[in-house]
Amino acid sequence: MDDINKGMGGNNLVSELLKIYLAQTDSALKISKVISEHSGEEGISPDAFVTGLIYRSMITMDEEEMKASLEFADEVLTKETSSDEEDEDYEEEYDIIDETYNTMEHDYGDKVILSRKIIKNTCNCDICAKARACLINYPTFEADGKLAQMFKDAIDNTMIIHKLNI
């Protein structure tokens, strides 16, 4: 990280932006995990992942969430070396194990669906209800800054890659 900052004239801006982006993504993964669990999924599906990203881009974190996510990002960015064991722990934490969603085409019996709408769960907990509202409002959502636009672009790219529509 210091090399990046040195390349920027000693400016700490890049590392701070990266930290915020990482914290935002970590928080979105936590939301995605809740949505997946409440949908009865074993892993985080692209639908839940995109929904979590959209939720986090539209619903601001409370102070406790912000603190936890920034601490996580800080740990990741200040860690000098990473072992394979630690990487495995991170993957297990988010249950990123459902390989059936990693293909561009989904086979549903005799039909192959190339593009589809995001599946929304029917749970009425606070997070799931807000997530459904965010999905409804996302097409008219406008990012309010460069970092927010970068996050929105990441969401849009994920939807393109997995051929998901809202």
DSSP string for residues in 118-156:
PP-----SHHHHHHHHHHHHGGG----SHHHHHHHHHHH
Answer whether residue 35 shows pLDDT above 90.
yes
Q: Taking the CA atoms of the chain, what radius of gyration do you get in angstroms?
A: 17
Q: Which of 72, 38, 67, 71 is nearest to 52 (CA)?
A: 38
pLDDT in tens, 49-87: 999 999 999 999 999 998 998 998 888 888 754 555 555
pLDDT in tens, 95-133: 443 444 444 444 445 555 578 899 999 999 999 999 999
Indicate the SS3 state at residue 54.
helix
19 contact partners, CB below 8 Å, separation of at least 6:
70, 73, 74, 77
Q: Which residues pair with 29 in a beta bridge?
A: none
Q: What is the pTM of this model?
A: 0.72
